[in-house]
Amino acid sequence: MNNPENGPSSALDSACATLSAEITGLSALHAVLGRSHALGRAFIDAVKLIASTKGRIVVSGIGKSGHIGRKIQATFASTGTPSFFVHPAEAAHGDLGMIDTDDVLLLLSQSGETSELAALLEHAALHALPVIGMTSSQDSTLARASTIILNLPHAREACPMGLAPTTSTIMQLALGDALAIALLERRGFTATDFRAFHPGGKLGALLKPVSRLMHDGDAMPLGTPDMTLSNVIIEMTRKAFGCIGITDDAGTLVGLVSDGDLRPALTRNLDTTTAGEIMNRNPITTKGDVLAQEVIHLMTARRKAINSLFILDEAGRPAGIVRLHDLLRMGIA
């Protein structure tokens, strides 16, 4: 039935009320995540336990908690914490065999009374496996069976009936993210490590060393200090990078002539004026092991963006050249 109160303004009011309820829940979680609170101490213990385990983190939950658990597990895996998700119903029908004696269980249940987790709790008790229980009920079955209890504070669900898991799942997700990041930092997980787990898409490209994205060999526009401007123009036009690298007899880059350097010199005699006379003797360059995201910042974080950038080897010789336009076209920037 149409109701004039269900118009656009009412929808926005509802959205703001939902966000407000969830922000209140996150604020309550933040307030008790300190050393002086039980949750803060339990969080520290959970990080220590996970970091020291020789096995994997087995994450499980049912319903909305299961969906949140899958995301937490995916974040663990992509940030260096070996883990997998097991569906509690499947666990009771054979998937308990996936769990090893060195593993740690992270079980999620808002009420702590989720009957589907019973098989996992029995298996953990039988094999003396540590259990980290994330729940909002400290007196629940899950809490009593847990080695470490991550007891979430009570907060009003955003659902006006107080039934649909909303605020509670946001808090579960946030605490799971906090665990993953704390473990990442404890392990000293780097961008290079992250790249190994994210080889695809824009993220993978951003985390590639620029040496894997550059043009090299004959594709590079190169010349010598005694090259005439007429030949500089020919080489720049042929290679189409908008610049030319100038090297000495040892092949070391000693300067660069860009379009901007060339234009004011076009009034000179192009057959007698040399590249060495007009070149920039201190061009911006980088190394091949620098990540693409850092190169993009280097090329754009200045008053006038650098359109092409030379990559040098350890001896200062041009190993390749990267073009900002190519990075944009690849979706990296």
The mean pLDDT of 127-152, rounded to a whole number, is: 96
Confidence of residue 3 (pLDDT cuts 50, 70, 90): low
Q: Is 4 exposed, middle or buried (0-12, 13-18, 19+ CB in 10 A)?
A: exposed
Distance CA 156, CA 19 (A): 12
Residues 316 and 207 sit within 8 Å (Cβ to Cβ): no
- pLDDT bracket for residue 203 (50, 70, 90): low
pLDDT in tens, 32-68: 998 889 999 999 999 999 999 999 999 999 999 999 9
Assess whether pLDDT exceeds 70 at residue 253.
Answer: yes
- The pLDDT value recorded for residue 195 is 58
Share of the chain above pLDDT 90, in %: 73
Residue 162: band (very low, low, confident or very high) from pLDDT cuts 50, 70, 90? confident
pLDDT above 70 as % of the chain: 91
The pLDDT of residue 4 is 47
Global pTM value: 0.65
* The pLDDT of residue 238 is above 50: yes
Higher pLDDT, 38 or 332: 38
Alpha-helical segments (H) within the chain:
8-31, 38-52, 63-78, 88-91, 118-126, 141-145, 167-187, 191-197, 201-206, 229-239, 259-262, 275-278, 292-300, 324-329
pLDDT digits (tens, 9 = 90+) for 170-198: 999 999 999 999 999 988 876 666 655 55
202 has a pLDDT exceeding 70: no
3-class DSSP assignment, residue 247 = strand
In this predicted structure, what is the pLDDT of residue 204? 63
Q: Which of 8-12, 194-198, 271-275 has the lowest mean pLDDT?
A: 194-198
Q: Worst-scoring range by mean pLDDT, 21-35, 63-77, 298-312?
A: 298-312
**C-alpha to C-alpha distance for 69 and 114, rounded to whole angstroms:** 14
**DSSP code of residue 188:** T
The Cα–Cα gap between 86 and 67 comes to: 11
Residue 304, pLDDT above cutoff 90:
no
Residue 199 has a pLDDT of 56
312 has pLDDT over 80: yes
**pLDDT greater than 60 at residue 333:** no
Confidence of residue 208 (pLDDT cuts 50, 70, 90): confident
Mean pLDDT (whole number) for 292-314? 88
